[in-house]
Homo-oligomer: A and B are copies of this chain.
Amino acid sequence: MTEGDPGHLLGLATALVAIPSLSHHEALLADAVETALRLCPWLEVVRVGDNLVARTALGRDQRVLIAGHLDTVPPSGGNDEPRVEDDVLHGLGAADMKGALAVFLHLAGTIPEPTVDVTWCFYACEEVEHRHNGLLRLWGERPDLLAGDAAILGEPTGGLVEAGCQGTLRVRLDLVGARAHTARPFTGRNAIHRLAPLLTAIAGFEGRRPVIDGCKYAEQLQAVSVEGGVAANVVPDRATLVLNHRFAPDRDAEAAEVALHALLDPFLEAEDTWERVDASAGAPPALDHPVLAGLVAATGTAPRAKVGWTDVATFWAHGIPAANFGPADPRLAHTSGEHVSAAELEAAAAVLGTLLTAPR
């Protein structure tokens, strides 16, 4: 590792993208990260499953958790092989969030004496159902490893601080109908046709955009799954729709679900079912914490709201103020065109380096 080499961070990120790490299959990447961390004698490294925690123990007044997830969503559009072009790395996870992991590994390996104690955390299964989340497993099995005063989560934020995060709610709607022969549909009722007004309302959803601590959130509603059908000549008596609602952190999941009911109940009937699949509260901005305020200052840019749910909410639920900060455009996450540039990686490394070495 050579700190001065401008291609170093890009090369490191490329190496991380080259190791597939679909959720539940992070072992190879965890092996590589563990190997790199164990080269640093100033870090105490603990592995729990495919989750890694590496800590300094310098007796500083403050301890900062710096965390990133190892996993990616499934490949899309042939993006599973990394490709570097004009100092830009393209590939699955380049933005979400192996670029940040490269920055973290670089700083963990080059700052042996930060002015705050640092807990580096690389964890599994962030992109799937929350119950699988590696942070939850660490809190369950080794809560001592996650003690800290504030946390920074390396989700892609375009190099500025994205404060707090929105909550997420998933509901499953089962619409009923009545079977009939498709030549005589008037003797039954088509449950798939019943989706029409519901999908029209969902597609036309206009979310609230509350401003909290100067950060503007934006609520969303998306159908993420649809399924229905009995046979090729049968009017279907059932259709299922799964929705994902993203709500601002001035609401809890219960209030968000009440609002969703108000929108969709006009299109539902007594025999339909409404099931909450999962819900996770968001987290308010916590920029009054000195570490997070210092992070904002180091970026030199005004913070903005994080509209996606992130593990900032998991930290907040455990009493730890946290903010999102990472290289790459957050709008690229989960798209086939994910990428991150060398300049973005360098800038993120500079901001975190400044924060970790500032005189205190």
A residues contacting B by CB (< 8 A) are 73-74, 76, 127, 129, 166, 168, 170, 178-185, 187-188, 190, 192-193, 195-197, 199-200, 202-203, 220, 222-236, 239, 241-242, 244, 246, 277, 307-309, 330-331, 333-336
Closest chain B residue to A180, Cβ basis? B335
A228 to B243, CA, bound (A): 12
From B190, B199, B202, contact of A223 by CB (8 A): B190
Closest chain B residue to A192, Cβ basis? B223
Not counting A73-B231, A181-B308, A223-B228, a sample of 16 additional A-B residue pairs whose C-beta atoms are within 8 angstroms of each other reads A76-B179, A170-B232, A179-B335, A180-B334, A183-B246, A183-B309, A184-B307, A187-B335, A190-B222, A190-B223, A192-B224, A195-B196, A196-B200, A199-B199, A224-B232, A229-B242
User: Could you say which residues of chain B place their CB within 8 Å of the CB of A235?
Assistant: 222, 224
A152 to B19, CA, bound (A): 67
A203 to B226, CA, bound (A): 17
Check if A224 sits within 8 Å of B220, measured CB to CB: no
A-B contact pairs, 5 of them (CB 8 A): A127-B231, A168-B182, A225-B228, A226-B229, A227-B228
A184 to B309, CA, bound (A): 11
Check if B330 sits within 8 Å of A184, measured CB to CB: yes
Prevailing SS type, chain A contact patch: mixed
User: Could you say which residues of chain B place their CB within 8 Å of the CB of A199?
Assistant: 192-193, 195-196, 199
The 6 closest A-B pairs by CB, nearest first: A225-B229, A183-B308, A196-B199, A193-B203, A192-B223, A181-B334
In the complex with contacts A242-B229, A331-B187, A222-B182 CB distance below 8 A:
yes
